Amino acid sequence: MELRHIRYFLAVASERNFTRAAAKLGIGQPPLSMQIKDLETEIGYALFNRTAQGVELTEAGRAFLQSVQPLPGIASGAVDAARRAAQGESGSLRLGFTGTVGMNPLVPGFIRAFRQAYPDVMLNVMEANSIVLLQALANQQLDIALLRQENAIPDNVTVQLLLQEPLVAALPLNHPQARLRGKIALPSLRDEHFILTPKESGTSLRESVLQACRQQGFTPVEGQPAPHIVSILSVVAAGLGVSLVPESMRQFSLSGVVFKQIKAPVPTTGLAVAWHEHALTATAHNFLGLVRGSGVIV
């Protein structure tokens, strides 16, 4: 028994006439009669009584009608569900991002735009450092990650730079330069202890800070390490050192911390999107297309 047999049966049951049912289906009457006869043979009982005016449902036909009437709608819904899943309009998206990237206004903007475009996609988010996110992508535990640009990339992961975000100095409130107007020179902080993330928490922001200082002629003295951006700022607020953080952090008012822009050359840190190059899901493809269409890619 095939779905077409059900459609043919329902047409005849609705029209109570083989000629009208055949016209409605767009087929000839003899093939329609043959298909109904095959269906009755498979069931083992007559579904219609032939009359001079057309046909009437038998007792078996009425029972069969009650059972199969929803099937075309169910099949149509299943086809639509499959199409939507194949096109990434339903299903789920596993999205990861680092703490500093998540605070960049671009990221909630991407998520908001994606939810508006694909409201039936369930979004599962994960916050972790870049090393953890890249490994999760490599193991196909994530679909897309937004992170700081890393040097060590797994072989099966693709990373595309979106933009270079300026770094700003995070100073304790009582720091002498915190009260100055305008931008400060990075070399003026050469004698300070720099609060950086440890290597095992991710190298992207850490390397951006170290490289910026070296380009200005000094190697920073490392102070108390801190694994996350919030803990970095907390240590700075406690007066234990200074740091360089993404400019997007300036939107957050943290007691005890003053953000100061750096004079040229302005240090930067990369913000990138990453995915598994051999396992890009339909929903991930749509999210990546949205990011690429935003015009922020360098």
Q: What's the CATH fold of domain 92-298?
A: D-Maltodextrin-Binding Protein; domain 2 (3.40.190)
Name the nearest CA neighbour of 169 among 116, 125, 83, 232: 232
The pTM for the full model equals 0.73
pLDDT tens per residue, range 151-196: 778 889 999 998 899 999 999 999 999 988 899 999 999 999 999 9
Q: What is the pLDDT of residue 222?
A: 93
Tell me if 91 sits within 8 A of 60, measured CB to CB.
no
Q: What is the pLDDT of residue 52?
A: 77
79 by Cβ neighbours in 10 Å (0-12 / 13-18 / 19+) ranks as: exposed
Name the nearest CA neighbour of 268 among 163, 167, 149: 167
Name the nearest CA neighbour of 127 among 136, 119, 118: 136
pLDDT tens per residue, range 239-265: 999 999 999 888 877 889 999 999 999
Q: What is the pLDDT of residue 297?
A: 57
Q: Is 248 helix (H, G, I), strand (E, B) or coil?
A: helix
Beta strand 243-246 pairing with 91-97: unpaired
Q: What is the pLDDT of residue 252?
A: 76
Q: What is the DSSP letter of 164?
A: E
Q: What's the CATH fold of domain 3-69?
A: Arc Repressor Mutant, subunit A (1.10.10)
DSSP H or E stretch at residue 147: strand 144-148
Tell me if 274 sits within 8 A of 128, measured CB to CB.
no
Q: Which percentage of the chain shows pLDDT scores above 90?
A: 43
Beta strand 221-222 pairing with 193-194: parallel
Q: What is the pLDDT of residue 230?
A: 86
Q: What is the pLDDT of residue 43?
A: 87
Domain assignments of the chain as residue spans, ordered by start: 3-69, 92-298
Alpha helices in the chain (DSSP H): 3-15, 18-25, 29-43, 59-68, 71-86, 99-102, 106-117, 130-138, 204-215, 229-237, 282-292
User: Residue 297: CA atoms inside 13 Å, Cβ hemisphere, count?
Assistant: 13
Tell me if 230 sits within 8 A of 121, measured CB to CB.
no
Spell out, as residue ranges, where the chain has pLDDT lower than 70.
201-203, 295-298
